[in-house]
């Protein structure tokens, strides 16, 4: 699972929703959260945090936003070399199946359907972390304590 | 035990001569294996074979425990004898073990000199295979899931278990397209299923569970004349490079669980309704009367209705009001079907008045549905104990009252007698709000809001007719406050208000006056824009609007019958829906009503109802 030092970027035009997700992350032990109210501002946050040497580790972004939409922001992230591999979790409205498929094809790391529940958020983060381990994408999350360099899991002896 | 003795205990060498056994024994070297160490590792070429002498070994494949061995047995010999044949399972010492190690080259040399070894190994393998097959069959039989392996085209492969044949109704199953079996006759859904399934085989960078979540997790399928609820679970099968090559699908029959859930839900609903009835029986009888009234209104309208013509506007407005009450009451008693039917009629009627001919033509069907839902509601009366029904429908006199009345009548004092009678049926006014906390909880859950009720004031007893009349219409005030007054949580947080709204009720019973105030701390109402929208509404009597404004009481517009109905039909803010009914009732009771509001902050309804002269019996209908 993502280490507690992981830096999250939360993008949503609705302040209450950001507050809700921030509280859920806090419950999971993540207190390093930066917020942005639009895709444009989020891009600036990504840039700045990168320049000061404390880059964002995970992006959680809403789809439906005025100005730059979530999917446009995703495209921007994926086409910027230093952020191309960042875990990007898209937040979509309930029942938006086609939207989710489009997001998957556009390269999200996972999706969250509203209304977001703490348990689902935790499951999704775990799944994304595991997927990163398996594919060997080493994002150097947080202080780099836990590396993602583990190879495909070997048969695990039960007792060691 | 010596090496040669150990070999004697090995079943596959039971027919070896002493000489042959000694030939092998000289190559055997005793090793101690501490608990937790691996003797052989799955997927690797063995450098030596092992014969377990004492201790316990755990046999694992892909982390799963396949078995535990604690008898004299031989391992790794196949991999030693056949080049390019890796070991098929991992062996880990569960306890400290003693074993004999035979290097691969020695074993090969002996195999050339003792051909009997090959036959022995062959027999051992066939025995292991037999046991493995038996165990697999047992596991498939004992598992609640049937398993089938699906290829990348979403077609069933040659691997499927008996349960799948039973559940999906095809024998053999190979080659059938699972999405089509899951969505019979629905090509679009099947195609969409297949396209998501195809994505499982391409690495999109999302966890596979993200894709599996988008596939039908449950399906209702009829096979061999049996309708089943099936739950599907997806288990990817990987190749050595961890690419998905197929998907195992576990199919479980959850028909019974779903049936029990549905029955449980229905029973909980019935219990909730019963609870409500006992909690507020008078209100339940009001509901029964409402059902009858709506029924007769519908019947009357149906008789005058010709084809697709719209019904009479006045009649429709009256029915609309009663439907709104019926919706509120059936909701209070957790009668979802009745509430839904009333809602359907309301919608159809609204569209019909607005000129939708299809809706007018469909009115009869909507009425019929409402009638049967209403009939079911009436049956609930049968659930109440008959003697209780009598008490609820009639008048209950406590012994002291009965005695007082007897005495008064004996003395010819009819005034006192009738006073006693009136007092006996007086109702506690706070009882009007007894159901509100649960109603607020239910409506808030539906609307995604949060609110609580606060009741203030002395309360007191009021005559039954006043109580019954108010009980029917106060529900509109509550619905209005929750539906149109209170904002949702997000909006409230943005407006820096507490997330939870407050509905406050102030009720005082004086010697000759009931005073009642119902307030909410929601978005309030801007009277000037209310008047402006009324001016743009040709259906409203503009003279009345002018009169209200001239009198400095612009809020009266909210209580005009046309305002609420028209507002709802054109999709404008519905603030005021049903308030006309409340205002009408207060007027009938000889009381007064007024509204006060601060936009963005509060909305308050105040009513004053005289108590000194109760409505004469047989007067203005049954209130």
* Partner B contacted by A134 (CB < 8 A): yes
More confident residue, B127 or B312: B127
Local confidence band at B307 (pLDDT 50, 70, 90 cut-offs): low
* Partner A contacted by B90 (CB < 8 A): yes
SS (H, E, C) B246-305: EEEEEEEECHHHHHHHHHHHHHHHHHHHHHHHHHCHHHHHHHHHHHHHHHHHHHHHHHHC
How far, CA to CA in Å, does B622 sit from each of B290, B291, B321, B467, B589? 12, 15, 17, 12, 12
Instruction: Tell me how far apart the alpha carbons of residues A112 and A11 are, in angstroms, rounded to a whole number.
Output: 13
The answer to which of B318-332, B355-369, B573-587 has the lowest mean pLDDT is B573-587
Question: Which of B205, B450, B498 would best serve as a mutation to test chain A binding (most A beta carbons within 10 A)?
Answer: B205
> Is it the case that residue B67 has pLDDT exceeding 50?
yes
pLDDT tens for residues B221-254?
A: 998 889 999 999 999 999 988 899 999 999 999 9
- Do residues B157 and B245 make contact, with C-beta atoms less than 8 angstroms apart? no
* Mean predicted confidence (pLDDT) in B152-160: 94
pLDDT tens for residues B1-12?
A: 677 778 877 877
* Mean predicted confidence (pLDDT) in B463-485: 85
* Partner B contacted by A19 (CB < 8 A): yes
Which of B58, B204, B242 is nearest residue A105 as measured by Cβ atoms? Answer: B204
Sort out which chain B residues have CB atoms less than 8 A from A156's CB and list them: 63
Task: Give the tokens for residue B60.
Answer: 């694992």
Q: What angle do CA B307, B311, B315 make, to 5 degrees?
A: 150
| DSSP bridge partners of B38 | B92
Say what the pLDDT of residue B380 is. Answer: 80
Task: Give the tokens for residue A66.
Answer: 């005025």
Is the ipTM reported for this complex over the cut 0.95? Answer: no
Q: Which residue of B has its CA nearest to A106?
A: B204
Question: B496 — phi, psi (to 5°)?
Answer: 60, 40
pLDDT under 70: residue ranges of chain A:
137-160
Q: Which residue of A has its CA nearest to B196?
A: A101
Task: Give the tokens for residue A94.
Answer: 């309930």
> Is it the case that residue B329 has pLDDT exceeding 50?
yes
Question: A4 — phi, psi (to 5°)?
Answer: -65, -20
Say what the pLDDT of residue A152 is. Answer: 37
Q: Give domain B3-139's CATH number out of 3.30.70.890, 2.60.120.10, 1.20.200.10, 3.20.20.140.
A: 2.60.120.10
DSSP single-letter state for residue B519:
E
* Mean predicted confidence (pLDDT) in B46-60: 93
| B158 Cα to chain A: minimum distance (Å) | 27
Say what the pLDDT of residue B559 is. Answer: 85
Cβ count near B157 (within 10 Å)? 15
Q: Is A42 helix (H, G, I), strand (E, B) or coil?
A: helix
Cα–Cα nearest to B519, from B443, B456, B432: B456
DSSP single-letter state for residue B62:
T
Q: Do the Cβ atoms of B490 and A156 come within 8 Å?
A: no
For chain B, give the mean pLDDT.
Answer: 85
> What's the CATH fold of domain A8-135?
Rossmann fold (3.40.50)
* Partner A contacted by B214 (CB < 8 A): yes
Instruction: Tell me how far apart the alpha carbons of residues A86 and A79 are, in angstroms, rounded to a whole number.
Output: 11
Cα–Cα nearest to B207, from A124, A62, A115, A107: A124
Q: Residue ranges of the domains in chain B?
A: 3-139, 145-253, 281-378, 426-525+575-610
CATH number of the structural domain B145-253? 3.30.450.20
Cβ count near B120 (within 10 Å)? 19
Which of A16, A109, A127 is nearest residue B490 as measured by Cβ atoms? Answer: A16
* Mean predicted confidence (pLDDT) in B550-561: 87
Q: Do the Cβ atoms of A110 and B206 come within 8 Å?
A: yes
> What's the CATH fold of domain B426-525+575-610?
Heat Shock Protein 90 (3.30.565)
pLDDT tens for residues B571-610?
A: 333 445 578 888 888 999 999 999 999 888 899 999 999 9
* Partner A contacted by B447 (CB < 8 A): no
Residue with tokens 């009938």: B588
> Is it the case that residue B541 has pLDDT exceeding 90?
no
* Partner B contacted by A26 (CB < 8 A): no
pLDDT tens for residues B78-117?
A: 999 998 889 999 999 999 999 999 999 999 998 898 888 8
- Do residues B220 and B241 make contact, with C-beta atoms less than 8 angstroms apart? no
Question: How many interchain CB pairs under 8 A, A with B?
Answer: 73
The answer to which of B137-146, B354-363, B401-410 has the lowest mean pLDDT is B354-363
CA atoms within 13 A on the CB side of A62: 26
Task: Give the tokens for residue B66.
Answer: 């396949």
The answer to which of B54-68, B99-113, B168-182, B535-549 has the lowest mean pLDDT is B535-549
Q: Which of B50-64, B303-317, B571-585 has the highest mean pLDDT?
A: B50-64
CA atoms within 13 A on the CB side of B418: 8
Q: Do the Cβ atoms of A16 and B493 come within 8 Å?
A: yes
pLDDT tens for residues B503-528?
A: 999 999 988 899 999 999 998 888 88
Say what the pLDDT of residue B303 is. Answer: 82
Sort out which chain B residues have CB atoms less than 8 A from A108's CB and list them: 205-206
Q: Do the Cβ atoms of A15 and B196 come within 8 Å?
A: no
Residues ≥6 apart with Cβ < 8 Å to A54: A7
Say what the pLDDT of residue B577 is. Answer: 53
* Mean predicted confidence (pLDDT) in B296-316: 79
* Mean predicted confidence (pLDDT) in B17-43: 90
Task: Give the tokens for residue B70.
Answer: 């604690």
Q: Do the Cβ atoms of B35 and A97 come within 8 Å?
A: no
* Mean predicted confidence (pLDDT) in B542-567: 79
* Partner A contacted by B275 (CB < 8 A): no
Q: Do the Cβ atoms of A104 and B63 come within 8 Å?
A: no
Instruction: Tell me how far apart the alpha carbons of residues B294 and B30 are, in angstroms, rounded to a whole number.
Output: 94
* Partner B contacted by A152 (CB < 8 A): yes
Q: Check whether the bond before B172 is cis (ω within 30° of 0).
A: yes
The length of chain B is 623
Cα–Cα nearest to B468, from B427, B436, B430, B517: B427
Q: Residue ranges of the domains in chain A?
A: 8-135
More confident residue, B394 or A98: A98
* Partner A contacted by B239 (CB < 8 A): no
More confident residue, A122 or B300: A122
Residues ≥6 apart with Cβ < 8 Å to A136: A148, A149, A151
Torsion from C-alpha of B480, B483, B489, B491, nearest 10 degrees: -90
* Mean predicted confidence (pLDDT) in B162-178: 92
Q: CA-based Rg of chain B, rounded to a whole angstrom?
A: 40
Which DSSP string do the residues of B22-34 spell out, in sequence order? HHHHTT-EEEEE-
Residue with tokens 């009256």: B318
Question: B302 — phi, psi (to 5°)?
Answer: -65, -40
Sort out which chain B residues have CB atoms less than 8 A from A157's CB and list them: 36, 38, 60, 90, 92
Residues ≥6 apart with Cβ < 8 Å to B98: B30, B31, B32, B33, B52, B53, B54, B55
Question: Which of A13, A14, A16 would best serve as a mutation to test chain B binding (most B beta carbons within 10 A)?
Answer: A16
């Amino acid at each position: 699972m993502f280490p507690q030092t992981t830096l999250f970027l939360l993008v949503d035009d609705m302040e209450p929703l950001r507050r809700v997700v921030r509280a859920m992350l806090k419950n999971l032990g993540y207190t390093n959260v930066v917020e942005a109210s639009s895709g444009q501002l989020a891009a600036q946050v990504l840039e700045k945090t990168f320049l000061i040497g404390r880059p964002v580790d995970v992006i959680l972004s809403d789809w439906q936003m005025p100005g730059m939409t979530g999917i446009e922001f995703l495209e921007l992230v994926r086409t910027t070399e230093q952020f191309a591999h960042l875990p990007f979790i898209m937040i979509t409205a309930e029942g938006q199946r086609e939207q989710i498929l489009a997001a998957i094809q556009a390269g999200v790391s996972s999706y969250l359907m509203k209304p977001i529940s703490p348990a689902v958020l935790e499951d999704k983060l775990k799944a994304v972390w595991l997927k990163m381990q398996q594919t060997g994408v080493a994002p150097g999350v947080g202080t780099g304590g836990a590396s993602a360099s583990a190879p495909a899991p070997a048969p695990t002896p039960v007792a060691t | 035990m010596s090496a040669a003795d150990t070999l004697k205990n090995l079943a596959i060498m039971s027919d070896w001569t002493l000489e042959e056994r000694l030939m092998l024994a000289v190559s055997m070297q005793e090793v101690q294996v501490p608990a937790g160490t691996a003797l052989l590792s799955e997927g690797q070429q063995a450098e030596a074979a092992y014969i377990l002498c004492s201790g316990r070994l755990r046999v694992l494949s892909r982390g799963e425990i396949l078995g535990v061995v604690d008898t004299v047995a031989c391992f790794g010999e196949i991999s030693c004898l056949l080049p390019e044949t890796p070991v098929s399972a991992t062996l880990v010492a569960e306890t400290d073990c003693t074993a004999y190690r035979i290097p691969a080259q020695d074993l090969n040399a002996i195999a050339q000199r003792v051909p009997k070894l090959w036959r022995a190994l062959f027999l051992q393998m066939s025995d292991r295979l037999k046991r493995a097959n038996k165990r697999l069959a047992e596991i498939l039989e004992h598992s609640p899931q049937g398993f089938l392996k699906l290829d990348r085209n979403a077609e069933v492969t040659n691997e499927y278990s008996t349960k799948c044949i039973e559940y999906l109704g095809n024998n053999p199953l190979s080659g059938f397209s699972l999405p089509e079996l899951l969505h019979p006759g629905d090509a679009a859904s099947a195609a969409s299923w297949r396209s998501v399934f195809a994505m499982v085989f391409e690495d999109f960078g999302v966890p596979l569970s993200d894709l599996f979540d988008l596939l039908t997790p449950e399906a209702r399928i009829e096979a061999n004349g049996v309708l089943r609820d099936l739950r599907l679970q997806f288990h990817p099968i990987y190749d050595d490079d961890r690419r998905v090559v197929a998907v195992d699908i576990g199919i479980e029959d959850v028909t019974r669980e779903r049936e029990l859930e549905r029955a449980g839900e229905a029973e909980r609903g019935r219990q909730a309704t019963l609870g409500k009835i006992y909690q507020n029986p008078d209100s339940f009888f009001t509901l029964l009367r409402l059902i009858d009234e709506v029924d007769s209104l519908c019947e009357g309208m149906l008789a005058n209705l010709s084809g697709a013509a719209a019904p009479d506007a006045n009649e429709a407005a009256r029915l609309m009001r009663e439907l709104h009450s019926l919706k509120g009451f059936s909701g209070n008693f957790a009668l979802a079907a009745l509430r839904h039917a009333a809602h359907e009629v309301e919608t159809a009627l609204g569209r019909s008045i607005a000129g939708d001919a299809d809706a007018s033509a469909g009115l009869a069907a909507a009425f019929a549905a409402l009638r049967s839902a209403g009939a079911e509601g009436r049956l609930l009366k049968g659930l109440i104990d008959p003697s209780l029904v009598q008490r609820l429908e009639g008048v209950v006199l406590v012994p002291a009252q009965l005695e007082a009345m007897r005495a008064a009548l004996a003395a010819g004092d009819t005034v006192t007698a009738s006073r006693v009678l009136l007092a006996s049926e007086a109702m506690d006014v706070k009882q009007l709000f007894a159901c509100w906390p649960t109603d607020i909880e239910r409506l808030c859950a539906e609307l995604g809001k949060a609110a609580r009720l606060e009741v203030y004031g002395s309360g007191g007893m009021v005559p039954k007719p006043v109580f019954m009349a108010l009980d029917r219409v106060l529900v509109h005030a509550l619905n209005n406050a929750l539906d149109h007054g209170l904002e949702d949580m997000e909006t409230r947080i943005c407006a820096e208000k507490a997330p939870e709204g407050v509905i406050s009720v102030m009720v005082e019973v004086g010697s000759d006056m009931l005073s009642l105030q119902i307030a909410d701390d929601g978005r309030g109402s801007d009277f000037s824009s209310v008047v402006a929208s009324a001016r743009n509404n040709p259906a409203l009597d503009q003279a009345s609007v002018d009169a209200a404004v001239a009198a400095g009481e612009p809020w009266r517009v909210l209580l005009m019958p046309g305002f609420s109905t028209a507002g709802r039909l054109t999709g404008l803010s519905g603030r005021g829906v049903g308030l006309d009914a409340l205002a009408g009732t207060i007027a009938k009771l000889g009381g007064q009503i007024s509204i006060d509001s601060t936009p963005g902050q509060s909305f308050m309804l105040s009513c004053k109802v005289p108590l000194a002269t109760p409505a004469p019996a047989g007067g203005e209908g049954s209130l």
